[in-house]
Structure 1
């Protein structure tokens, strides 16, 4: 029996930086995914100042889920996440944060519960604002530039066409398991995604 919590996911946060300059950058892979979910399930994002970001509500197989794109820039993401979670009384283990992951190749996407922030400013701020790390993460592989000093320029750059296509395919796979995620069937979702 797996030790993962079986709560269903009620809030999906896509991490990214607001504004057209950042839209196509690797660091915005989390935004890309929630944009796709909104489109697929007929929702649209609207700005909500009390949540410091853009919010969308979707229904999937009769289950309601909030999608959030913080409008605060990456290193202040926690302000947005905590204000929405508090308002709708959403628990830490009912939150899934989609973010770019340097330690995975483009085309790879992994589901993970808990853990540290591995230097990711968005995750770091959410852990701090929420007072805990026990939330789900959708880690979207973007690869590592090979040199720690190059990371900032790399994540704020655009993927090559080949990498971009690989990331899109991975996001497709993650999109397909959304019904499982919203039902708390994480093992099933992982098996489907990780074998893809």
Structure 2
């Protein structure tokens, strides 16, 4: 079983914000894989799909970003899930809008959702897709920026990065992550 976690914040007020691109990516995957039902469990919303004969679980933590690790830990403990089968999708200030970066380990880089996952799993080693949201203009508050909606001029870049994320997530299911990284980290 593979499991894909998209990070974001619950509630309609956060729905279209930069910090919720992980949820946006999971929604696209759910649509593509015909996931019709999301169940509330493991402190999140959980959907299941069958992709090319393999079970894939999609998880949106409903704990708010800074507590995302609680949802992962609850799922891991119940299913005895392996971190090698995990893919986490989240926003990244240091990656340009319209781009994605894949990594299999590393520090949280100031991202509170990743910090929580590392705290609750005890490791920095897990597969990740970082969706670029670019940095705000100098002097702009980071928290306000990540909780702001994308502008109309950013729509094309957002869609480009989300589509790349969907394709990379599908490749993650079929091939070693190192190969997927080499394909998308350009």
Report the TM-score when normalising by structure 2: 0.93
- On the 8 A contact 2:127/2:177 being kept in 1, the answer is no
Residue 171 of structure 1 deviates from its aligned partner by: 1.3
Q: Which residue of 1 aligns with 2:22?
A: 30
Q: Secondary structure at the match of 1:135?
A: strand
2:6 to 14, 20, 33: 14
2:118 to 109, 123, 127: 127
How many residue pairs get matched? 186
Residue 159 of structure 1 deviates from its aligned partner by: 1.3
Q: Which residue of 2 aligns with 1:95?
A: 86
Q: Relative to structure 1, is the Cα distance of residues 45 and 73 closer, same or farther in structure 2, using a 3 angstrom cutoff?
A: farther
Query: Structure 1: any 5+ residue segments left out of the alignment?
Result: 1-8
Two-structure CA RMSD over aligned residues (Å): 1.6
Residue 12 of structure 1 deviates from its aligned partner by: 0.6
- On the 8 A contact 1:106/1:142 being kept in 2, the answer is yes
Q: Which moved more, 1:36-45 or 1:12-21?
A: 36-45
Report the TM-score when normalising by structure 1: 0.88
For residues 108-187 of structure 1, what are the structure 2 equivalents within 5 Å? 108-147=99-138, 150-187=141-178
Q: Which residue of 2 aligns with 1:6?
A: none
2:3 and 2:51 map into 1 onto residues whose CA distance is 13
Q: Which residue of 1 aligns with 2:40?
A: 48
Query: Structure 2: any 5+ residue segments left out of the alignment?
Result: none
